[in-house]
Amino acid sequence: MLAPESFSAYLTDDLKWTAVLGRDTCAETAFVYCVKSTKIFCRPTCPSRRPRRENVEFATDSIQAQVMGYRSCQRCLPEGLASPHEARQGIAVAHAQVIIREAVQAGRPVPSLVELAEMVGMSKFYFLRVFKSSVGLTPVRFARNLRGTVRTVRS
């Protein structure tokens, strides 16, 4: 979550529009912009084509935008708590955890870091960083902890 002082950087509509044009990641949670012609609201970082300025108004959050009669963008998913990027990372980590858990429970060897990364569509270094920051453990340690749990349950 951004610090409250970061929201003060977007007090005027002109500053918000500049953030939208630049796809400013600092503005990710500060506001949403609403497109009058399509009745859709987006995050400032949405990769969609930029609308004309005269067709844009701003809302403080997705709830206000919905009250104003707009619906959520299907591309940037502004209603979600996490950014689409974070959501994809979460899905990849959850998929890797399922793969590891199934291997441990079946008594099979756990796939290597390279294999896991390929299965979730990431480089091994990026996958390791994302997995560790999300779970708090490396995939190997995660598997070791599961093995200990499985042995205790089977005993």
Q: What is the mean pLDDT of residues 132-136?
A: 87
pLDDT value for 117:
96
Query: Catalytic residue at 76?
Result: yes
Quick one: pLDDT at residue 83? 65
Active site residue 26: no
Catalytic residue, chosen from 30, 40, 42, 130, is: 42
Could you tell me if 58 and 13 are in contact, meaning their C-beta atoms sit under 8 angstroms apart? yes
Nearest Cα neighbor of 118 from 109, 127, 110 is 127
CA distance 112 to 108: 12
This prediction's pTM: 0.53
Which one of 20, 32, 40, 46 is the catalytic residue?
Answer: 46
How, if at all, do strands 40-42 and 71-72 pair? parallel
Q: From the candidates 20, 76, 120, 130, which is the catalytic residue? A: 76
DSSP state for residue 59 in the 8-state scheme: E
What confidence category does residue 31 fall into, taking pLDDT thresholds of 50, 70 and 90? very high
CB under 8 A, 24+ apart: contacts of 135-141: 135/93, 135/97, 139/96, 139/100, 139/110, 139/113, 140/110, 140/113
**pLDDT, greater one: 146 or 103:** 103
Q: Is the pLDDT of residue 56 over 60?
A: yes
The reported pLDDT for the residue numbered 153 is: 42
Predicted confidence band of residue 7 (pLDDT cuts 50, 70, 90): low
**Closest residue by Cα to residue 151 from 110, 104, 102, 108:** 104
Confidence of residue 85 (pLDDT cuts 50, 70, 90): confident
Rounded to the nearest 10 degrees, how much is the dihedral formed by the CA atoms of 24, 30, 34, 40?
A: 90
- What are the structural domains of the chain? 4-72 (3.40.10.10), 84-154 (1.10.10)
Q: 23, exposed or middle or buried, with CB in 10 Å at 0-12, 13-18, 19+?
A: middle
98-129 pLDDT, tens per residue? 999 999 999 999 999 999 999 999 999 999 99
The catalytically annotated residue of 73, 110, 116, 143 is: 73
Q: How many CA atoms lie within 13 A of 17 on its CB side?
A: 11
Strongest mean pLDDT among 16-20, 34-38, 101-105, 136-140: 34-38
Is the pLDDT confidence value at 89 over 60? yes
